[in-house]
A = this chain, B = another copy of it.
Amino acid sequence: MPHLTPEQEREIDALRAESVATRRATVPALEEILYQAIPLLDHGFIRVIDYMGDDGAVVQAARVSYGRGTRHARDDAGLINYLIRHRHTTPFEMCEIKYHCKLPIFVARQWIRHRTANVNEYSARYSILDNEFYVPAPQHLAAQAADNRQGRGAVLGGAEAARVLDLLRADATRAYDDYLDLMNQDATGEVRDPGRQGLARELARMNLSLNFYTQWYWKIDLHNLLHFISLRADAHAQHEIRVYARALLETVRRWAPLTCAAFEEQRLNGAHLSASALAVVRRLLAGEAVVPETSGLGKREWRELMTLLSRLG
């Protein structure tokens, strides 16, 4: 099933064909993909709809200068790196971006927990949801991890995987059929049986399952977007939201490349060490043979520290 209808694609093409003059800071690399849907999962996407500011706006805010910031990329990169390293976050709040996202409801429920953003969601009180639901690709049908209540374990084998996929598809299909039946409407809103009234939309929607797709406009500033990405692109995040977080990161790379590079260097690929972990590192550097029992760390923290220190560059 396609991610966009032909009508939606025509509308996007029409928007992309228009171009007007502006005095605002403009980012050609982002303009290039403006309005375009980046397909994610089986029916989802994100699209950049609008943006304000760029790396220069971060620099400008940091300097509270009158112009658009110095044009010397080297200085700007150094300043931006410094700002991220020392947690001077407010200059990054001076840039804003707006996305149109289509995502499964259970992903939307995690996503919405980030409160420092603006959201307008498609309303199933007013409108009928499309018959689109998420079914994981076979390679993402993970079993429950045995040693960790949160994570995923091995991928399910062929027979069990097939059974799981059958169940998910069958239940979602039935849920949608009955959703329409409850409303006594078809997916375009046409009444089916004139002899029945049909349940109100705001009630019928409760029959849909959490893998159905919803969509929203989502607007956020650059600082909070990076914070969202740092939490949701993390290895501990659920695969389905991580897919979105990584796609968001790629749009940041186009939009504010200096900020994106500093963020990856300082935050995404950096690590926070506790006081005890720092002490262990110091002892190791001094040539001491530290073992878990003398490290002052819990088992889990010890394991995480060792992984971190042995990771290839």
Q: Which A residues are closer than 8 A to B by beta carbons?
A: 8, 11-12, 14-16, 18-26, 31, 34-35, 50-53, 57, 60-62, 64, 66-68, 78, 81-82, 85-87, 90-91, 93-94, 96, 98, 100, 104-106, 109, 112-113, 115-116, 118-123, 125-126, 134, 136, 141-145, 149-154, 156-157, 160, 164, 167-168, 171-172, 174-175, 178, 181-183, 196-203, 205-211, 215-217, 219, 221, 231, 236, 238, 264-266, 269-279, 281-282, 284-285, 298, 300-301, 308-311, 313
Contact = CB atoms under 8 A, between A and B. Distances in A.
Copies of this protein in the assembly total 4
A123 B21 CA distance: 34
30 contacts: A11-B66, A11-B67, A21-B31, A23-B34, A24-B24, A24-B50, A50-B52, A64-B123, A64-B216, A78-B298, A82-B300, A90-B113, A91-B120, A94-B118, A94-B219, A96-B96, A105-B210, A106-B206, A142-B199, A142-B200, A144-B198, A151-B200, A167-B182, A171-B174, A175-B209, A206-B209, A265-B274, A269-B278, A270-B275, A281-B309
B270 A265 contact: no
Contacts of A86: 236
Contacts of A35: 23
A84 to B, nearest CB: 9
A164 B217 CA distance: 33
B64 A217 contact: yes
Contact of A23 (B16, B120, B143, B270): B16
B264 A270 contact: no
A219 B93 contact: yes
Given A171-B207, A205-B106, A206-B209, A284 B282 contact: no
Given A16-B23, A31-B22, A309-B282, A120 B62 contact: yes
A37 to B, nearest CB: 10
Nearest to A159: B196
Grouping DSSP codes into helix (H, G, I), strand (E, B) and loop, the A interface class, with mixed when no group exceeds half, is mixed
Contacts of A152: 200, 202-203
A313 B106 CA distance: 45
A280 to B, nearest CB: 10
Contact of A64 (B31, B120, B269): B120
B167 A171 contact: no
B122 A64 contact: yes
Contacts of A271: 272-273, 278
Which of A198, A200, A265 has most chain B Cβ within 10 Å? A200
A270 B266 contact: no
B22 A24 contact: yes
Nearest to A276: B265
A26 B50 CA distance: 10
Nearest to A61: B120
A199 B19 contact: no
A285 to B, nearest CB: 6
A125 B96 contact: no
